[in-house]
Amino acid sequence: MPPFLNHFRGADAIGRLIGSKCPGGTNDMPMIETVANGQPAFGLYMRQPEGHFEPFHLQVLQMTGSGADLRVEHVSAFFDPRLFARFGLPERLPADYVPV
């Protein structure tokens, strides 16, 4: 998906991506659960220099299997902060926000 030309497959590759390429530290990128077209989705927020959190991207998960075999098959990321309102997500989070 432009402008990102990378594709990551498997837990190890995705773990390396998160560990080496994602900005921020612990609790700097909270995610809030929502639903998109019946699929689980998450709004990911990024901590700003002022301390509060702004929308960064919406992740929509495509699931496969069921029960104990339920797995994430694919994740699509949409980098349009205007989508957050459409999915009932807050337009920003306060600096003292702590994920549940």
Per-residue pLDDT reduced to its tens digit, 22-49: 777 778 899 999 999 999 999 999 999 9
Angle among Cα 38, 74, 62 to the nearest 5 degrees reads 15
pLDDT 10s digits, 45-100: 999 999 999 999 999 999 999 999 999 998 888 999 999 999 999 999 999 998 87
The tokens of 29 are what?
A: 């990128």
Specify the pTM: 0.81
Q: Round to whole Å and give the CA distance between 29 and 47.
A: 6
